[in-house]
Amino acid sequence: MTSEPAASQAINLCASSDLVDGGCAVAFDVLYGGQPVRAFAIRYAGRVHAYLNRCTHVPMEMDYQEGRFFDDTGSWLLCATHGAAYAPQTGECVGGPCRGGLVKVCLSEGGGVVRWHTAPLLQPPAS
C-alpha cells in the first residue's frame, strides 16, 4: 500500500500591493524537508515568485538587508555574500558561484492576496 502525498494547501502570505516590481521581498518561514528555512516572495515583470532564502553556492541566506535581493537594476537576484546571481522569474543561476538554481515555492495571486502553496517537502512551520 502506498500513501498519497498530502494535498497542497494555500496559505495567505501578504497583500498583492506589498510586492512591488523589483522592490523589497516579503519574507516568510517554512519547513523544508522538516528543517526551518526562511523563504521570500518578490514581484518581477508583474508576476509573483518565491524561493527558499538559501544560496546554492553555500546554504546561507542571500539578502544583504532584510528583504533586499535585487541588484541595483532590479534585474537579478543576488547573494550578498558570494555574488551569485539568479534569474528572478525562474531562480536559475545566471552567474557567479552557483550550484544549480534556487528552490522555488509555488505562489498564487487573486483577490488582492498572495498565497504560498505547500508541497510534500514544503510545509508551514509548527504553530
CB 27 within 8 A of CB 53: yes
CATH 2.102.10.10 fits 10-123, yes or no: yes
CB 40 within 8 A of CB 26: yes
Distances (CA, A) of 97 to 83, 87, 92, 93, 113: 7, 14, 12, 9, 35
Residue 98: CA count within 13 A, CB half-sphere: 22
- pTM for the full model? 0.91
pLDDT of residue 1: 42
pLDDT of residue 6: 57
- Residue by residue, pLDDT tens for the chain (127 residues) are 444 445 789 999 999 999 999 999 999 999 999 999 999 999 999 999 999 999 888 778 898 788 899 998 999 999 988 889 999 999 999 998 888 899 999 999 999 999 999 999 999 998 7
